Structure 1
């Protein structure tokens, strides 16, 4: 048990030394902080985090996720064409695509796809 604790202590000491050396030798400065800040989301990271954000941006993101996932479901259907009964394959595929078409028409009718600035 003492051997295990001593090895653990040595490992922790090595990690502490390496982390300290890395922080001392690192060329990063406070000026590089802007480069590593998140910019893909469209929010300024230096402002208050509880600012209201566009609900339309959220809805477009959800719609994108739904139709992105449907591609992942449709692609394996090509492989199952070889193993499945043709009639059941066609009914399943047509049913799935009809659900997607009804969903996109519903989103269109609700106005979620209209970009207003």
Structure 2
């Protein structure tokens, strides 16, 4: 029953947020408003800075490891309510997955910052 209520609440909340996003008036950007502003003068150079792809890959790797660690947080609850052997097996599987992905990143030099 709680599962059905939570799924219904999530579905209704996401539907309402999507409908509000479509119904809100769109912001009309015109050329002057979308241009970069430098103290009233025309810009001297590009307003866009180059983005480091290495930084992006490290950030994505951090997010993936963080999400995998978040999967281990309900482990104490799972060990009380379900089969203890299955909970330990799933925890060891997640830890093995974390360790193997860390080893893969380390061997492929995905964690090194210097190019």
Q: How does the TM-score come out when normalised to structure 2?
A: 0.56
- Per-residue deviation at 1:71? 2.4
- Per-residue deviation at 1:84? 1.3
The residue aligned with 2:114 is 116
- Distance in 1, matches of 2:46 and 2:79, equals 53
Q: Which of residues 49, 53, 77 in structure 2 aligns to 1:55?
A: 53
Larger Rg: 1
The residue aligned with 2:99 is 101
The residue aligned with 2:17 is none
* Residues 85-117 of structure 1, C-alpha deviations (whole Å, 9 max, x = no match): 111111111111101111010000110111216
- Distance in 2, matches of 1:114 and 1:65, equals 17
- Per-residue deviation at 1:48? 2.9
The residue aligned with 2:75 is 77
- Distance in 1, matches of 2:46 and 2:80, equals 55
Unmatched segments (≥5 aa) in structure 2: 1-37, 40-44
